Amino acid sequence: MENKPYAILVLSHKSKFQLERIISFFEFSKFQIYVHLDKNAEFNISDIKGDFISIEKQLPCSWGDFNVTLATFDLLKFAFKDGKKYFFLISGEDFPIKTLDYFNDFVLKNIHKDFFNVIPINLALSNPLLRNFKRRFNYVHVPNRQPDNAFESVSFSIKYRFKIIQQHCDFLKFPVPNNIYVGVNWFNLCRNTVEKMLVDFKCNFLLKSRLSLSLLAEESLPHSIFWSIHDPKMWVNDSLRYTKWIQGKSHPEYLKLDDIEDAIKSESLFARKFNELETLNYLESNLVK
């Protein structure tokens, strides 16, 4: 563990093969892989091959589910307790687009810096490309999955019925919270920042309670906590993720062979997302060059 002082935190919900490719890429490096696997994935944590650490509790997750936020902080907490000095959060559908030497140099140069896309809520609400953004907060979010236990079953039922009433009664819609921050949920954070975020996450009950009712809390709660504790002089407002968006869609496009050259030439560390073996093979072959 001492020869792996840095952490790659992976939120995985599909594609066992690609997850194993990520693990293999960082196997002989200074980066330890930590995995949270969606409890509803089609494979088990014990099926995954390679050198990685599984956190203690695997939560069931669906798109926009507050469990994604809980899994993110569980990964941070687990790796922090292991003494890691720098933390990268990625998806199991992502892949590095820089060499291991580049990653090593990046951490050495930026060991006290944070790279995280964070903007005030009012900027998101005024963006014409995010016309429905406020709906994330106006209605209670009901996860699109089967309840994991009896408590969740009751909770989902109450939320579902209340959401229907909200949709018919405007006065029951929740107001958008003031003074919160949003952005993409992938980041590169130093140890000092992670320590402060873990403390604030544990203590800030009101913020957690409010944003736990919203859609995609992983794109608002970590950012709001980060903003309250970060050092502006050591922050870069960029997560360094190469992503291809199509206007009007809520998910990034899967990258193809034609995208690889531009991705590698970018300043980004990781690209998202991939779902083709041929594309990954081509990417890795170009990284070797």
Q: What is the pLDDT of residue 289?
A: 57
Q: Is residue 119 part of a domain?
A: yes
Q: What angle do CA 274, 275, 281 make, to 5 degrees?
A: 75
- Angle of helix 191-203 versus helix 66-81 axis, rounded to 10: 130
CA distance 162 to 92: 34
Is pLDDT above 60 for 104? yes
Q: Is residue 116 part of a domain?
A: yes
Identify the bridge partners of residue 35 per DSSP, sorted by sequence position.
10, 54
For 114-145, the pLDDT digits (tens) are 999 999 999 999 987 777 889 999 999 999 99
Q: Is residue 210 part of a domain?
A: yes
Q: What is the pLDDT of residue 251?
A: 79
Q: Is residue 145 part of a domain?
A: yes
Contacts of 7 (CB under 8 A, 6+ apart): 31, 32, 34, 79, 82, 84, 86, 87, 88
| Judgement on whether residues 47 and 155 belong to the same structural domain of the protein | no
Phi, psi at 63, each rounded to 5°: -60, 125
CA distance 37 to 262: 30
Of the candidate ranges 52-56, 117-121, 178-182, 249-253, the one whose mean pLDDT is the lowest: 249-253
| Judgement on whether residues 242 and 225 belong to the same structural domain of the protein | yes
| Judgement on whether residues 189 and 211 belong to the same structural domain of the protein | yes
Task: For residue 96, give the 3-state DSSP assignment.
Answer: strand
CATH number, domain of 259, equals: 3.90.550
User: Do residues 274 and 255 touch, judged by C-beta distance below 8 A?
Assistant: yes
| Judgement on whether residues 166 and 182 belong to the same structural domain of the protein | no
Q: Is residue 132 part of a domain?
A: no
Of the candidate ranges 1-5, 112-116, 138-142, 193-197, the one whose mean pLDDT is the lowest: 1-5
Identify the bridge partners of residue 36 per DSSP, sorted by sequence position.
11
| Judgement on whether residues 67 and 156 belong to the same structural domain of the protein | no
| Judgement on whether residues 62 and 147 belong to the same structural domain of the protein | no
Tokens 């003031």 sit at which residue? 178
Rounded to two decimals, the pTM is 0.95
Q: What is the pLDDT of residue 184?
A: 93
Domains in the chain: how many in total? 2
User: Do residues 77 and 199 touch, judged by C-beta distance below 8 A?
Assistant: no
Q: Is residue 241 part of a domain?
A: yes
Could you list the residue range(s) of the whole structural domain that residue 153 is in? 140-172
Task: For residue 243, give the 3-state DSSP assignment.
Answer: strand
| Judgement on whether residues 189 and 166 belong to the same structural domain of the protein | no
Phi, psi at 113, each rounded to 5°: -110, 155
Q: Is residue 1 part of a domain?
A: no
Q: Is residue 131 part of a domain?
A: no
Other CB atoms within a 10 A radius of the CB of residue 154 amount to: 11
For residue 78, the one-letter residue type is: F
Residue 98 C-alpha from the chain's centroid: 19
Q: What is the pLDDT of residue 260?
A: 94
For 197-246, the pLDDT digits (tens) are 999 999 999 999 999 999 999 999 999 999 999 999 999 999 999 999 87
Q: What is the pLDDT of residue 2?
A: 63
Identify the bridge partners of residue 91 per DSSP, sorted by sequence position.
11
Is pLDDT above 80 for 110? yes
Look at residues 149, 172, 195 and tell me which one is the last residue of a structural domain.
172
| Judgement on whether residues 186 and 65 belong to the same structural domain of the protein | yes
| Judgement on whether residues 40 and 93 belong to the same structural domain of the protein | yes
| Judgement on whether residues 198 and 107 belong to the same structural domain of the protein | yes
| Judgement on whether residues 151 and 10 belong to the same structural domain of the protein | no
| Judgement on whether residues 145 and 279 belong to the same structural domain of the protein | no
